[in-house]
Amino acid sequence: MNHLYSNVVIKVGTNVITDKEGRLDLDILEKLTAQIAALHDQGIQVILVSSGAVGAGRSIVNLTDNLSPVATRQVLAATGQIKLINTYTDFFAAHGLVTAQILVTKGDFRDRLHYLNMRTCFESLLQQKIIPVVNENDAVSVTELMFTDNDELSGLIASMMHVDGYIILSHVDGLFDFKTGKGEIIKEIPASTKHFHQYINPGKSEFGRGGMLTKCHIAQKLSRLGITVHIANGKTPGILLSILNGEHPGTTFLPEKKSISGRKLWIAHTEGMEKGAVVINEGARIALTCSETANSLLPVGVESVEGTFMKGDIIKICSTDGVVVGYGMAGYSAEKIRTLKGQKGQKPLIHYDYLYIIQ
Would you say 105 and 153 are in contact if contact means Cβ atoms under 8 Å apart?
A: no
In the chain, the amino acid numbered 236 is: T
CA 178 to chain centre: 26
- Indicate the length of the chain as a whole number: 359
Annotated binding residue at 138? yes
For 7, list phi and psi in degrees, rounded to 5: -150, 140
In the chain, the amino acid numbered 230 is: H
Annotated binding residue at 51? yes
**Nearest to 49, CA basis, from 111, 137, 142, 114:** 137
Whole-Å CA distances, 152 to 167, 215, 330, 336: 13, 8, 24, 33
Residues in Cβ contact with 269 at an 8 Å cutoff, skipping those fewer than 6 apart: 109, 155, 156, 159, 160, 221
Annotated binding residue at 150? yes
**In terms of DSSP H, where are the helices of 162-312?**
212-223, 239-244, 262-268, 282-289
Q: Which residues pair with 99 in a beta bridge?
A: 131
Q: Annotated binding site for ATP, which residues?
A: 11
Q: Annotated binding site for substrate, which residues?
A: 51, 138, 150
Q: Annotated binding site, which residues?
A: 11, 51, 138, 150
